[in-house]
Amino acid sequence: MTSSQLYNPHIEGEPFLWQSGKTGVLLLHGLTATPAEVIPLGRVLHAAGYTVMGPLLPGHGTTPADLNRVHWRDWVATAEGAYRQLTDMCDRVVVGGESTGAVLALWLAATHPDAAAVLAFAPALKLALSRWDVWRTYLAAPFVAAVPKPGLGGPGSDLWQGYPVNPLRGIIQLFGLQKAVRPRLKDVHQPLLLVEGANDKTIAGECVPVIRAAVQSQVVETHILPQSSHVVILDKEREQAFAITLKFLARVLGERSG
């Protein structure tokens, strides 16, 4: 990785595959981040007996300019490839992610009916932006490469690794992914866990209700962590998020380990 352009370049953030049991869990990081974002949760799941994989999405872990060069379908292709790799190794696979990674997990669930369950942490189906903010992003993107990322330095930031800026064309690709996933939510039927922070200023407040209303899942479990912001799996209530995840998987998969 090009550490000079990453926030917290010294922490572990490489792609990982930790083998254990015959149930796999795919964990996808969010926009501008690296697998460091999902490593703490991944460690907990691996210790519980799951085989866990966390790929690096295209355009991430190098330079912000690289994120401005990719298409959202490149992220989908990487997620699809990781899913296929896990299905070759495991009897069943859970798909999950944080923010943009959660949206990719919903895509996988919609397009792969054999996925066992979905873990969606702060799913970024819509950002907390006004219509004017969205249009301003489109208007500025040809001329402005990136803008500073707000909120760095808060709880959990010592565990987060990624770009300290938001590349505008990368954000526009997220808009494209959001638009592609919304009509596919009706094809999600797997047990679904939704976890968000009460102080999340990144995603729109309607994200979780819209997802709940659109999916066909018979089991939908929602948790709002009162002291957490956007990256709920790194924030001050992360241990609670981990416990919620383990309990959910034990319940819907009928097991206490992988």
Which residue type sits at 196? Answer: E
Residue 1, pLDDT score? 46
* Region of residue 242 (phi > 0: left; psi between -120 and 50: alpha; otherwise: beta): alpha
Give the count of alpha carbons within 13 A of 171, CB side only.
27
Label the pairing between strands 23-28 and 51-54: parallel
Q: Which fold has domain 3-253?
A: Rossmann fold (3.40.50)
SS3 67: helix
Helices (H), the chain: 39-47, 64-67, 72-89, 100-111, 131-140, 168-181, 207-214, 238-253
What does the CA dihedral 151, 31, 25, 42 come to, rounded to 10 degrees?
A: -40
Residue 4, pLDDT score? 61
Residue 151, pLDDT score? 76
Residue 154, pLDDT score? 84
Residue 70, pLDDT score? 98
Q: Taking the CA atoms of 181, 185, 188 and 194 in sequence, report the sign of the dihedral they define.
A: positive
Contact 202, 99 (CB under 8 A): yes
SS3 191: coil
- pLDDT tens by residue, the chain, 258 residues: 445 689 999 999 999 999 999 999 999 999 999 999 999 999 999 999 999 999 999 999 999 999 999 999 999 999 999 999 999 999 999 999 999 999 999 999 999 999 999 999 999 999 999 999 999 999 999 999 999 998 788 888 999 999 999 999 999 999 999 999 999 999 999 999 999 999 999 999 999 999 999 999 999 999 999 999 999 999 999 999 999 999 999 999 985 444
pTM of the model: 0.96
